[in-house]
Amino acid sequence: MDWSRGEVLGRGSFATVSLAHVRRPSGDPLPPLMAVKSTPLSASAVLRHEEAVLSRLDGCPYLIRCFCSDVVYSCAEESYNIFLEYAGGGSLRDLLLRSGGRFPEPAVRRYTRAILLGLHYVHECGYAHCDVKLQNVLVFDGGAVKISDFGLAKKADDRAKGFRGTPLYMSPEAAARDEHGAPGDIWALGCAVVEMATGRPPWPNPTDGDAWGLLFKIAFSDASPEIPADLSEQGKDFLRLCFAKDPAERWTAEMLLRHPFVASTDAVEDIAGAPWQCTTPLGGSPTNVLEIPSYASSSPMEEENIPADSYGLFPTDRILELASPAPPNWASSPCIDSDWMEVRAGVLIQSISP
């Protein structure tokens, strides 16, 4: 592919995002303007992982699209590049700041529904995003929004432990036990809704650098992000379902799409502007607990390395059995959003986290 690098849009820990101008032969389906995410070839594992995940998730209009990749060889350094859709409106966080610091509730509902549709597809495909936040939702012409930055995404059945995500949006089970999965994405979505509705981070005083204190509070206290007082009763109920401390009791993306906060007539507009539906049919909003489907998970008989005598444990007992007695090592935890530098306001700012 014949292309040239344009202005830098943003820099993260492991990559730089720039404009890419493509010189296309006649009939080439690639867009003439893309965002190129680049990193040294020797440190390209995160970008290669993101490219692989996006290739498996291709087809959903609520997720950023990855077109292709290449390697540039030069005298100075070899670089690995992935080419993504260019979002001229920047991130949803950028849009929030340009909109006076908060969104009216109808806009919150529409953006929340679009994010939920993307997460439902991700979870249905067997993945968890693991870093849902407004900075990782990109805004396109016409108001369409798409989830981006899949560098930390993981398979739902991947039991590998390790710190991932942004402390402000981290779920209790992630902070306490390094458990990252679809329920954690829903907790983070709730944090994003709070931020859209109030213009403030989901937790107070998040910029004092005390990541350990914040994570300890999330993991081991009864506290949850404060639900905005001026939000409708439907919105408050929606957030309570997102902020269930027990991940087994937290509603799934599929269930939340039936909630009246996003399913009512003034929130059903498809702002992605593309004819697409979830592959799982969505019914009406549940009216009682008996109508709520069980959270999808693997049968214990299908899991490897689980002692036979643990099959009968209750879920909470099983979690306690699996949890390590040693506290997490936060020494290498990043400060909140400290790995980001904005280069130009109002354009694509997309983080790359370790």
Q: Read off φ and ψ for residue 16, nearest 5 degrees.
A: -120, 135
In a domain, 270, yes or no: yes
pLDDT at 179: 93
In a domain, 299, yes or no: no
pLDDT at 309: 36
Domain holding 26, by residue range, is 3-86
Q: Read off φ and ψ for residue 8, nearest 5 degrees.
A: -75, 130
Q: Helix (H, G, I), strand (E, B), or coil: what is residue 177?
A: helix
- Least Cα distance to 200 among 165, 229, 234, 163 occurs for 229
Q: How many domains does the chain have?
A: 2
In a domain, 346, yes or no: no
Residue 45: pLDDT above 50?
yes
Instruction: Tell me, yes or no, whether 54 and 132 share the same domain.
Output: no
Active-site option among 131, 157, 270, 317: 131
Instruction: Tell me, yes or no, whether 112 and 69 share the same domain.
Output: no
Active site residue 131: yes
Q: Helix (H, G, I), strand (E, B), or coil: what is residue 41?
A: helix
CATH (domain of 52): 3.30.200.20
Instruction: Tell me, yes or no, whether 13 and 97 share the same domain.
Output: no
For residue range 111-154, list pLDDT tens digits in order: 999 999 999 999 999 999 999 999 999 999 888 999 999 999 99
In a domain, 325, yes or no: no
pTM: predicted TM-score of the whole model, two decimal places: 0.76
In a domain, 144, yes or no: yes
In a domain, 308, yes or no: no
pLDDT at 160: 75
Question: What b/e string do you get for 55-89 counting C-beta neighbours within 10 Å, with b at 16 or more?
Answer: eebeebbbbbbbbebeeeeeeeeebbbbbbbbbeb
CATH (domain of 213): 1.10.510.10
Instruction: Tell me, yes or no, whether 131 and 204 share the same domain.
Output: yes
Instruction: Tell me, yes or no, whether 82 and 199 share the same domain.
Output: no
Instruction: Tell me, yes or no, whether 221 and 165 share the same domain.
Output: yes
For residue range 58-117, list pLDDT tens digits in order: 999 999 999 999 999 877 789 999 999 999 999 999 999 999 999 999 999 999 999 999
Instruction: Tell me, yes or no, whether 124 and 81 share the same domain.
Output: no
Instruction: Tell me, yes or no, whether 132 and 231 share the same domain.
Output: yes
In a domain, 323, yes or no: no
Instruction: Tell me, yes or no, whether 157 and 126 share the same domain.
Output: yes
Q: Which residue among 291, 317, 339 closes a domain?
A: 291
User: What would the mean pLDDT of 319-343 be, rounded to a whole number?
Assistant: 43
Confidence of residue 248 (pLDDT cuts 50, 70, 90): very high
Q: Which residue among 291, 324, 343 closes a domain?
A: 291
Instruction: Tell me, yes or no, whether 81 and 96 share the same domain.
Output: no
Q: Collect all residues with Cβ–Cβ distance below 8 Å to 224 and sequence separation of at least 6.
A: 243, 245
Instruction: Give the pair of three-digit tokens for residue 137.
Output: 């939702």
Instruction: Tell me, yes or no, whether 98 and 209 share the same domain.
Output: yes
In a domain, 16, yes or no: yes
Q: Which residue among 86, 111, 142 closes a domain?
A: 86
DSSP state of 302: G
d(CA 287, CA 14): 46
Residue 155: how many other CB atoms lie within 10 Å: 14
Q: What is the largest CA-CA distance in the chain?
A: 65
Instruction: Tell me, yes or no, whether 224 and 119 share the same domain.
Output: yes
Percent of the chain whose predicted confidence (pLDDT) is above 70: 72
Confidence of residue 1 (pLDDT cuts 50, 70, 90): confident
Q: Helix (H, G, I), strand (E, B), or coil: what is residue 256?
A: helix
Between residues 129 and 339, which one has the greater pLDDT? 129
Determine the straight-line distance between the first and last CA of the chain, rounded to whole angstroms.
Answer: 29
Q: Among 28-32, 150-154, 233-237, 309-313, whose mean pLDDT is lowest?
A: 309-313
The answer to whether the CB of 64 falls within 8 A of the CB of 146 is yes
For residue range 297-316, list pLDDT tens digits in order: 333 333 333 333 333 334 44
d(CA 144, CA 64): 11
